[in-house]
């Protein structure tokens, strides 16, 4: 039985960013557990109210398969979400993967987690504004995985999910590629590959 996937949730969370990943992981048998700053409800940028399953202080890397950090307005509005970046450091140090998209990449940059890993984000100058030391490791790509850390920009939730599915070895490479082609490119031929693999 796989360990749960932790989805970080906080006020102004970008609703559209984790959905492809969490839905496919849940279909593959992973339990998705939401982690808030506390157990108090949070509200996404789309107005959805989420009651966290866990408070951040109760989270341990050894209990999870993955930590997902999504974008949120709060990443660029102060240090309120910095504890989530520190938790990401603890996860990576423990060998538990982390996936960060959109503004969460800036949070990880401020924490120093992108200084020595290949990574991407919305645009290079967005991360450069954090003053981080990893500018030479920035990659112009839809999503990047390096040493247990997935990064992606806000317009790439499907590529973000693709990298997570690969990282956790949820499906073989052929099925992951077909899944990406179906949901990113609307490639109808990919459907047959996924049906044969039992993914859909």
Active site residues: 102
Is residue 194 within 8 A of residue 182, CB to CB? The reply is yes
């Amino acid at each position: 039985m796989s360990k749960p996937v932790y989805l970080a949730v906080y006020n102004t969370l970008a609703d559209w960013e984790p959905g492809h990943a969490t839905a496919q992981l849940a279909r593959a048998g992973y339990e998705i557990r939401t982690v808030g700053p506390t157990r108090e409800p949070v509200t996404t940028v789309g107005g959805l109210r989420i009651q966290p399953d866990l408070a951040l202080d109760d989270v341990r890397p050894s209990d999870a398969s993955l930590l997902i950090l999504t974008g949120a307005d709060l990443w660029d509005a102060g240090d309120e979400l910095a504890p989530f970046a520190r938790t990401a450091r603890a996860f990576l140090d423990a060998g538990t993967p982390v996936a960060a998209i959109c503004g969460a990449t800036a949070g990880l940059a401020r924490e120093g987690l992108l200084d020595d890993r290949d990574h991407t984000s919305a645009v290079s100058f967005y991360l450069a504004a954090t003053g981080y030391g990893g500018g030479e490791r920035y990659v112009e790509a839809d999503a990047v995985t390096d040493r247990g850390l997935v990064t992606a920009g806000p317009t790439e939730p499907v590529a973000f999910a693709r990298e997570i599915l690969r990282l956790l070895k949820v499906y073989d490479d052929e099925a992951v590629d077909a899944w990406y082609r179906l949901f990113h490119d609307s490639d109808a031929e990919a459907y047959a590959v996924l049906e044969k693999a039992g993914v859909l």
